[in-house]
Each structure stands twice: as structure tokens, then as C-alpha cells.
Amino acid sequence: MAKITASVYTSHVPAIGAAMDLGKTQEDYWKPVFAGYEYSKQWLKENKPDVIFLVFNDHATAFSLDMIPTFAIGTADSYEPADEGWGPRPVPVVKGHSALASHIAHSVIQQDFDLTIVNKMAVDHGLTVPLSLMCGPRDPQTGQWPCPVIPFAVNVVQYPIPSGKRCFDLGQAIRKAVESYDEDLNVHIWGTGGMSHQLQGPRAGLINREWDNAFLDQLITDPVAAANIPHIEYVREAGSEGIELVMWLIARGAMSDINEGKQTGAAPQLKHRFYHVPASNTAVGHAILENT
């Protein structure tokens, strides 16, 4: 059967992608950011998944105000990197895994999560920056990502967005769905976005290092408590865009220590943890957990 073996958490700041695309990774400003992912690139090589289930949010790219799905799963064979206004990022096309994605959609909807199914979607920095950070640079024509990716988009742009608790419960449903797939596949689940940042208004530039690190602690060791953090706390403490962190709870909820909303199994092993301020307007947070 297919199995989720690890989860990865990372910010997906667009400027990080731009720094890679423009060859700025060795500049003093960016060096510490990329240093924080050196271990991770090696780890991903040594623990290569068959499929990455990548939770991210679209930033008014594939989804305008025409339609705003709360949870959308990509079931296509491939996804083009989007032109977000600066031209598409020079990275490879993202190959999907339509068979597993369709299976997950079927199972998760039967578990009462009403997903939107997407067969055509350009993917923006929310999805490609985590891949770039974890895999390193890839030539857009001759290169490829290490494995197929299932994009899972969460609405965190127009409020109300799903609660942390809902995301955490959804993660558990995704794990059940993966484990009911017959083929032996090693699946990683990634939760992306955050950490503290605010991109608007006189409060733009907000960073809350103390809150971010407390969130990381809680996410790792007491995820049920993290899942119960109300929206207003994210917005007040981590900025209007810090709310993206609810997406990390989908990945955390999919780990094997979580059963029926409680942490009952063996705690996952923390392989790596990193935090840095700033990348552009944002605090960069990152962690890797392996099921034991």
C-alpha cells in the first residue's frame, strides 16, 4: 500500500524563487536562507519519495475571483509554471500523479471533505518555490523534478478561510486515503506558506519571531493544541498573511501519530528545523518530520 513517510514544512516566499532564478543565492542577503536548506536537499535525495502531496495556496493566479475553492486537489498529468506578472519562473513543468490524486479525491470526499477537483491549473510560486528550495535549481527544459507532485490548493486569500482544526482533520483523511491505495508508494506531504508576514497596510512588514518559534514547537510536539489556534490569533500575532500557516496543519495531521484527532501514536522524528528573518517581507520557517 501507499504510505506517508515524512512531512516537510516551508515558507514559499516568491522572492526566494526570484533569487534562485536570478543567480543571487550567494549574495549576503540570501546566503543564510539557502544555507538553511542544504541539509534538506541532501535529505530529499537520500529519502526520495515516489510522490509529493504538496499543500499550497494560489495567489490570485489560477483562481481569480471567478471562483474560490476552499480546498482544491489537482488530478491532472501536468501543471505549467504560471506567469504571475513577471513572466513564468524558469523551472520545469510539474508532473502530476493523476491516478493517486483521483484516488485521494474519491476517498477524501467520501470522508465528508468536499474537495474541488481541478484538471487544469497553472501553478504559482506557492508550489514551485518549495520545490526549488528542496530540490535545488533545475533547468526548465532539460531538468525535471524528482517525482510527480499532487498540488493541493487551499483558499487563504478570501476570508473566511478554513480553520486550523479543519485543516488538521483533513490531513488525517488524506492519510487514510493514501493508505487505501494499493500500489506501494512512498509519499511525502508538504505544508507550505508562512511564517509571520503581513503584505498590506501600515502594519506591513510585521514579523513575530517569538510567536513563530512557539508555533513551530507546538506543531512538532503538541499538534492538537496547534490545530486549535483560532484564526484571529494568526492574524493578530503573525500578520494578515501569516494565516497561511493553517496549511502546515494539513501536513501535520497526516502524520502517523495522529489518530481520530488525538496524538496517540509514536511522535515523529524531527530531522531538521530552521528559522530566518527576513526573506523580503517574510519570516522563513522550515521543518522536516519523519514517521517513526
Partner 1 sequence: MALDKPYLDIPGTIIFDAEQSRKGYWLNQFCMSLMRAENRTRFKADEKAYLDEWPMTDEQKRAVLARDLNWCMRTGGNIYFLAKIGATDGKSFQQMAGSMTGMSEEAYRTMMINGGRSIAGNRRIGEDGDAQRPATDSTPTA
User: CB–CB of 272/47 below 8 Å?
Assistant: no
**Residue 257 and residue 269 in contact, taking contact as beta carbons nearer than 8 Å:** no
Binder among 31, 45, 48, 209 for partner 1 (CB under 8 A): 209
CB 40, CB 291: distance < 8 Å: no
Name the residue nearer to partner 1 (CB basis): 10 or 240.
Answer: 240
What mask of x and - would describe binding to partner 1 in positions 160 to 199, judged by CB under 8 A? Answer: x-----------------------------------x-xx
Query: Residue 77 interacts with partner 1 (CB under 8 A)?
Result: no
Q: How far is the CB of 157 from partner 1 (least distance, A)?
A: 6
Site string for partner 1, 86-115 (x = CB under 8 A): x-----------------------------
Of 15, 42, 45, 41, the C-alpha closest to 30 is 15
Stretch that binds partner 1, among 12-20, 129-137, 164-172, 218-226 (CB under 8 A): 12-20
The whole-angstrom separation of Cα 248 and Cα 55 is 8
Q: Does 128 bind partner 1 (CB under 8 A)?
A: no
Give the residue with the Cβ less far from partner 1, 156 or 289. Answer: 156
Closest of 9, 59, 10, 11 to residue 282, by C-alpha? 11
CB atoms within 10 A of CB 108: 21
Query: Residue 53 or residue 211: which is nearer to partner 1 going by CB?
Result: 211
What residues are annotated to the active site?
A: 125, 197
Torsion angle, alpha carbons of 83, 86, 87, 89, to 10:
-80
Q: Which three cell numbers stand for residue 171?
A: 490531513
CB under 8 A: which stretch of 100-108, 130-138, 203-211, 214-222 binds partner 1? 203-211
Write each residue from 37 to 76 as x if it is in contact with partner 1 (CB under 8 A), else as -, in one continuous string. ----------------------xxx--xxx----------
Identified binder of partner 1 from the candidate list 2, 4, 6, 15, rule CB under 8 A:
15
The three cell numbers of residue 65 are: 475571483
DSSP secondary structure of 6-41: EEEEE---HHHHHHHHTT-TTSTTTHHHHHTTHHHH
Cell digits for 215? Answer: 508555533
Q: Which stretches of the chain bind partner 1, using CB under 8 A? A: 14-15, 18, 29, 59-61, 64-66, 83-86, 157-160, 196, 198-209, 211, 231-232, 235-237, 240-241, 277-278, 280-281, 283
